[in-house]
Structure 1
Amino acid sequence: MLKAERHKYIMTKLIEEQKVVTTDLALALDLSEDTIRRDLNELDSKKQLEKVYGGAVQVSEKSVDVFNINIAAEEEKKKIVTKALSLLHDGQVIIMSGGSTNLVFAKLIPSDLKATIYTYSLPIAMQLSQHPNIDLIFIGGKMQKNAMVTIGMDVIQVVSKIKADICFIGASSINIKQGLTEIGYEISIVKKAMIEASDRVVSMFSSDKLNTKMPHVVCDLNLLDTIVTELDPEDARLEEYRKSGVFIL
Structure 2
Amino acid sequence: MLTSQRKQLILEALKRDGQVIAKTLSTEFDVSEDTVRRDLRELAAEGQLQRVHGGALPASPAAVDFAGRERIESASKAAIGRAAAGMIAHGQIAFIDGGTTAVQLARHLPRDLRATIVTHSPSIAVELAEHTELEIIMIGGRLFRHSMVNVGAAAIEALSHIRADFYFMGVTGVHPQAGLSTGDMEEAYVKRALAEHAAETVVLASAEKLNAASAYKIADVSAASTIVVERTTPEALTVPFEALGITILRA
Alignment of 1:236-247 (within 5 A): 236-247=236-247
Instruction: State the secondary structure of the residue aligned to 2:86.
Output: helix
- C-alpha contact (below 8 Å) 1:118/1:139 kept by paired residues: yes
Are 2:228 and 1:228 aligned? yes
In structure 1, how many angstroms separate the alpha carbons of the residues matched to 2:177 and 2:138?
A: 33
Structure 2 gaps of 5+ residues are 1-45, 51-58
1:169-208 alignment runs, 5 A limit = 169-208=169-208
1:54 Cα deviation after fit: 4.6
CA distance in 1, matches of 2:85, 2:60: 32
Aligned residues: 196
- Deviation at 1:115? 0.5
Letter in 2 for 1:89: A
Counterparts in 2 of 1:178 and 1:97: CA distance versus 1, 3 Å: same
Letter in 2 for 1:241: F
**Matched-pair contact (CA < 8 Å) for 1:97–1:119:** yes
Comparing 217-226 with 27-36, greater Cα deviation is found at: 27-36
1:138 counterpart letter in structure 2: M
Moved more, 223-232 or 195-204: 223-232
For residue 131 of structure 1, report the CA deviation from its aligned partner: 1.0
Query: Aligned Cα RMSD in Å?
Result: 2.5
1:160 and 1:33 mapped to 2: Cα distance?
31
**Structure 1 residues 130 and 28, CA, compared in 2 at 3 Å: closer, same or farther?**
farther
TM-score, normalised to structure 1's length? 0.72
Q: Which runs of 5+ in 1 are unaligned?
A: 1-25, 38-52, 57-69
Deviations 1:187-246 (CA, angstroms, capped at 9, x unpaired): 000000000100011011101101110111101111110000103588232111100111
Cα distance change of structure 1 residues 223 and 32 upon mapping to structure 2, 3 Å threshold? closer
Q: Matched residues, percent identical? A: 30
Relative distance call for 1:134 and 1:27 in structure 2 (3 A) is farther
Which residue in the other structure is 1:97 paired with? Answer: 97
The residue identity in structure 2 corresponding to 1:129 is A
Query: What letter is aligned with 2:175?
Result: N
Cα distance in 1, alignment partners of residues 60 and 177 from structure 2: 22
The one-letter amino acid paired with 2:163 is: K
| In 1, Cα distance between equivalents of 2:200 and 2:61 | 28
Q: CA deviation at 1:155?
A: 0.2
Partners of 2:214 and 2:101 lie apart in 1 by: 18
- Contact in 2 for aligned 1:102/1:168 (Cα 8 Å): yes
Deviations 1:117-159 (A, max 9, x none): 1101111111011212110011111111232211100000011
The structure with higher relative contact order (CA 8 Å, sep 6+) is 2
Q: Greater shift after overlay, 233-242 or 117-126?
A: 233-242
